[in-house]
């Protein structure tokens, strides 16, 4: 479907000295802002994505999850990357350590040496006792050895959006030499910093529900994809996203019937915890 030659975008500005919103006319062919149109056209990522590496079948954001990916034939993972107090990039979803490790308090207040000794598996099941928090470089090595694609969610600790986006993007650019990882974040500032640091890496903006100005946001960041909570995705807004020239990721889809419906509607990537229930046969 051809884009209309002109579009009206409602641009949200980040900055106290600028108006919050401003309407402008832009020619459709100039709306890319560095977007890799060739990558969008020849999309390299598989349909199914393992949420936090192992979904609900292994401790989240750990190397143990790779075994589940292999067992169920998954070829792409999603995981959360953040910084220690001394700027080591490691995997953890929460701001605090308490839920998924035997540590306590904000992760940002711990050095990597302190974090590296924590148990990140026993909370899930005693079989995973002594599972450690992995570094980004460890994940990259496993992705390379097992030919698994990556969606790196930049997950800044409070107040560390820009530095986390920048350091994660720079590291990812160096660590992934074959297929580029897809960067994503709920943080506009983190994804903007990632874009500025490593513009060649593809980016996807994360939303829960779509804001009115979703198109302006993803265009400003030069995103190739939009990632949204599947509960807020409809056949109509999926069509609008695709018509805007973007790919769509839906999270976190754990019912086979819903996964099948989203695939029928044109969702490109389905991120799930249920590696054991949602396979290629469900979304083909």
- Specify the DSSP element, H or E, that contains 153: strand 149-154
List helix spans (H) across the chain. 37-41, 65-71, 112-116, 136-146, 161-175, 188-197, 214-221, 235-243, 256-265, 280-283
**22 in active site:** no
Alpha-carbon distance of 147 to 134, in angstroms, equals 18
Domains contained in the chain, CATH given: 34-283 (3.20.20.190)
Q: What are phi and psi of 43, to 5 degrees?
A: -65, 120
Q: What is the chain's length?
A: 284
Catalytic residue among 22, 51, 113, 230: 51
Residue 35: per-residue pLDDT: 78
pLDDT for the residue numbered 6: 30
With contact defined as beta carbons under 8 Å apart, do 50 and 75 qualify?
no
State the Cα–Cα distance between residues 6 and 205, nearest whole angstrom. 23
The answer to whether 120 touches 133, Cβ cutoff 8 Å, is yes
Alpha-helix residue ranges (DSSP H) falling in 76-160:
112-116, 136-146
Helix ranges (DSSP H) in 102-183: 112-116, 136-146, 161-175
- β-strand partners of 203: 183
Whole-angstrom distance, CA of residue 245 vs CA of residue 252: 23
What is the full per-residue pLDDT of the chain (284 aa) written as tens digits?
Answer: 333 333 333 333 333 333 333 333 333 333 445 678 899 999 999 999 999 999 999 999 999 999 999 999 999 999 999 999 999 999 999 999 999 999 999 999 999 999 999 999 999 999 999 999 999 999 999 999 999 999 999 999 999 999 999 999 999 999 999 899 999 999 999 999 999 999 999 999 999 999 999 999 999 999 999 999 999 999 999 999 999 999 999 999 999 999 999 999 999 999 999 999 999 999 98
The answer to whether the beta carbons of residues 268 and 283 sit under 8 Å apart is no
Q: Helices 235-243 and 256-265, interaxial angle, to 10°?
A: 40
Among 206, 95, 104, residue whose Cα is nearest residue 159: 95
The token duo for 155 is 């997950």
DSSP class of 208: S
Q: Is 51 an annotated catalytic residue?
A: yes
- Distance, in Å, from the CA atom of 261 to the CA atom of 87, rounded to the nearest integer, reads 41
- Can you name the residues that pair with 251 across neighbouring β-strands? 229
User: Which residue of the set 22, 93, 110, 230 is catalytic?
Assistant: 93
What span, in angstroms and rounded, lies between the C-alpha atoms of 262 and 229?
Answer: 12
- Alpha carbon separation from 48 to 66, 231, 249, 256, 271 (Å, rounded): 14, 17, 10, 12, 6
């Amino acid at each position: 479907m051809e884009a209309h030659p002109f579009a009206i975008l409602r641009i949200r500005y980040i900055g106290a000295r600028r108006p919050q919103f401003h309407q402008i006319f832009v020619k459709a062919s100039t709306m890319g802002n560095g977007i890799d149109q060739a990558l969008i056209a020849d999309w390299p990522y598989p349909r199914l994505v393992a949420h936090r590496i192992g979904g609900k079948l292994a401790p989240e954001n750990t190397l143990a999850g790779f075994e589940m990916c292999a067992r169920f034939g998954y070829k792409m993972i999603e995981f959360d990357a953040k910084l220690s107090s001394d700027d080591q990039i490691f995997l953890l979803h929460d701001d605090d350590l308490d839920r998924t490790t035997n540590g306590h308090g904000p992760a940002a207040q711990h050095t990597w040496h302190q974090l590296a000794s924590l148990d990140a598996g026993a909370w899930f099941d005693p079989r995973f006792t002594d599972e450690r928090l992995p570094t980004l470089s460890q994940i990259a090595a496993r992705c390379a050895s097992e030919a698994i694609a990556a969606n790196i969610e930049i997950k800044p600790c409070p107040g560390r959006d820009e530095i986390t986006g920048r350091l994660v993007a720079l590291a990812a650019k160096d660590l992934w030499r074959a297929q580029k990882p897809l960067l994503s974040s709920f943080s506009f500032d983190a994804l903007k910093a990632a874009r500025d640091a490593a513009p060649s890496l593809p980016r996807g903006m994360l939303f829960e529900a779509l804001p009115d100005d979703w198109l302006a946001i993803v265009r400003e960041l030069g995103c190739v994809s939009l990632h949204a909570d599947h509960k807020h995705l409809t056949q109509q807004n999926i069509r609008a996203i695709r018509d805007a020239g973007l790919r769509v990721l839906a999270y976190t889809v754990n019912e086979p019937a819903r996964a099948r419906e989203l695939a029928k509607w044109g969702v490109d990537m389905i991120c799930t915890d249920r590696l054991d229930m949602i396979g290629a046969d469900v979304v083909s």
